[in-house]
Structure 1
Amino acid sequence: MPELPEVETTRRGVAPYLELATVRELVIRESRLRWPIPADLPARIAGQPIRNLRRRAKYLLIGFDTGTLIIHLGMSGSLRVLTEAFPPEKHDHFDLVLASGVRLRYRDPRRFGALLWADGDASEHPLIAALGPEPLSDAFDAGHLAAALQRTRRAVKLAIMDNHVVVGVGNIYASESLFRSGVHPERAAATLNPEEIDRLVAAIKATLTEAISAGGSTLRDFVDSEGKPGYFQLNAFVYGRNDTPCRVCGTLIRQIRIGQRTSYYCPHCQR
């Protein structure tokens, strides 16, 4: 599933084409996504100038004078920029066509993504209002994380993957951040001491920053706006490296299940 780095990579890829552009039309070929695409959406945005393009958690927000277009990539979605009107393929569900002729095409084999509309302030939309802070913002610091972890004894890996605690720390990035901070993924969240919390916050920020720079991870379905895969997973310390030597100490990486998700850790480096 595309996570924060993949969505941010997509945002950066499409931004030069969308920012300050005007929408000619929205062409919907399949409206049955995770939630039905609103029937009046093409009429709402036709002829409207795009004012901004933002990301909140895993949502892309395209701002207009009258509201905000909310896009979620779901489990297998991708957005690609087309400079010509190439014939759509089976899983190409909608095109956002700009006045310049450029098309933003959404492809989603599993149809678990979303195209929705928010009147007024998009931050008040039900899908966005309760989200935690952005991990690369100043709002996500040791004080915030310490307060969140003190309230739960669940595994720390599950806690940092909770979008109410902090957004965008998906399975791959949680495993990598915990390795970098030296924290075992099964540790009860409330048992982390201040030094460990400091290290974990720094590790989350560093891991996600590197992942964005690498264009996201080599997930099976993820490609960026130019159709290229991400490469962060090639540099992973633990994720997907079960029974291979730790790159730091040489101990074999182990694989376990936490909250129905596969997790990886080094039994020597992580306590």
Structure 2
Amino acid sequence: MPELPEVETVRRGLLKIATGRKINGIDVYYGKTITNDVEDFRQSLIGQTIETVDRRGKYLLFRFSNQLTMVSHLRMEGSYYSQPVNTPVDKHTHVVFKFTDGTELCYRDTRKFGRMTLVKTGEEMTVGGLKTIGPEPTAADFKVEYFQKILHRSRGKIKPFLLNQRHVAGLGNIYADEVLWMSRINPEQPANSLSQAQVQTLHDNIIKELSIATKYKGTTVHTFKNAFGDAGAFQDRLNAYGHGGDRCPRCGTKMVKIKVNQRGTTFCPHCQPLMEKTND
């Protein structure tokens, strides 16, 4: 599933290929992609202009000129691309927005899990996971005091805690492994057992790692590509994720891959030992 850096990379591409374009037709080939009534969806957007595209966590927010917002979640393998109008599409392209400038914005999804929901602008936070989404992982929104407070309430393991979008927006399996490796924290460490110093380090590394990954236009492990069909470049900088059996780049110990709450998880047993709870 695309995580925050990948979705932000898609958003920046959409700003170039979609904003300012006026829609004069919409083809829907797989109706379940649209959670609204499909014909209502079409009629609400034909004749409207995409004014901008925002993002909240892993959700894209298309802002239209008639004060409507389309909430788009890419799920596992959803992607957007542009092409000249009336160009043939493959069987995995499910929605096509036709623009008056002779281009099309196409939504492609081999797994068919992605969804689009049209709501009045201002009501987007009532949609799905946006209702309970946590703060953006930035210095302005993600405060260490908040992080420490919610960590100390949790008896669960730190890895699934980080994957819960209620706690902090945008982290997925890739970057959770990375920030835990950076912070020298075992993925099975109880969340409420982290010391104040560990909380601060983990907090700072979450902000730092997601910012750097966004700079490198995300990670391509399986199929992720941006709006121009290009792969990300951050996969060449991963230290933990996908490196089970390799040597830890920090200490040389063989990295171990396990399952934590059914999610593949890679860590260094030397750098990230399971620690007893401290009292600081």
TM-score with structure 1 length normalisation?
A: 0.95
Residue among 134, 140, 143 paired with 1:132: 134
Report the CA distance between 1:19 and its aligned residue. Answer: 2.3
Q: Partner of 2:27 in structure 1?
A: 27
Deviations 1:56-105 (A, max 9, x none): 11111111233101111121111012244320111111111222122111
Q: Partner of 1:78 in structure 2?
A: 79
1:155-194 equivalences under 5 Å are 155-194=157-196
Q: Partner of 1:49 in structure 2?
A: 49
Identity %: 33
Q: Partner of 1:114 in structure 2?
A: 115
**CA distance, structure 2, for counterparts of residue 169 and residue 124 of structure 1:** 19
Q: Partner of 2:278 in structure 1?
A: none
**CA distance, structure 1, for counterparts of residue 14 and residue 121 of structure 2:** 23
105-114 or 124-133: bigger deviation: 124-133
Contact 1:67 1:120 in 2 (8 A): yes
Q: Partner of 1:213 in structure 2?
A: 215
203-212 or 19-28: bigger deviation: 19-28
Amino acid corresponding to residue 236 of structure 1 in structure 2? L
> In angstroms, what is the RMSD of aligned CA positions?
1.6
Q: Partner of 2:151 in structure 1?
A: 149
Amino acid corresponding to residue 5 of structure 1 in structure 2? P
**CA distance, structure 2, for counterparts of residue 240 and residue 37 of structure 1:** 41
Contact 1:256 1:263 in 2 (8 A): yes
Amino acid corresponding to residue 54 of structure 1 in structure 2? D
Report the CA distance between 1:29 and its aligned residue. Answer: 1.6
Amino acid corresponding to residue 52 of structure 1 in structure 2? T
Runs of at least 5 residues in structure 2 that lack an aligned partner in the other structure:
274-280
Distance 1:123 1:117, change over 3 A: closer
1:247-258 equivalences under 5 Å are 247-258=249-260
**CA distance, structure 2, for counterparts of residue 123 and residue 204 of structure 1:** 26
Contact 2:78 2:114 in 1 (8 A): yes
Report the CA distance between 1:36 and its aligned residue. Answer: 6.2
Q: Say which SS state the counterpart of residue 55 (structure 2) adopts.
A: strand
**CA distance, structure 2, for counterparts of residue 25 and residue 53 of structure 1:** 19
Distance 1:34 1:96, change over 3 A: closer
Contact 1:254 1:267 in 2 (8 A): yes
Report the CA distance between 1:111 and its aligned residue. Answer: 0.5
**CA distance, structure 2, for counterparts of residue 195 and residue 22 of structure 1:** 51
Report the CA distance between 1:219 and its aligned residue. Answer: 2.6
Contact 2:14 2:53 in 1 (8 A): no
Q: How many pairs were matched up?
A: 271
Q: Partner of 1:18 in structure 2?
A: 18
TM-score with structure 2 length normalisation?
A: 0.92
Report the CA distance between 1:35 and its aligned residue. Answer: 4.2
Q: Partner of 1:5 in structure 2?
A: 5
Amino acid corresponding to residue 240 of structure 2 in structure 1? V
1:229-240 equivalences under 5 Å are 229-240=231-242
Q: Partner of 1:98 in structure 2?
A: 99
**CA distance, structure 2, for counterparts of residue 219 and residue 105 of structure 1:** 22
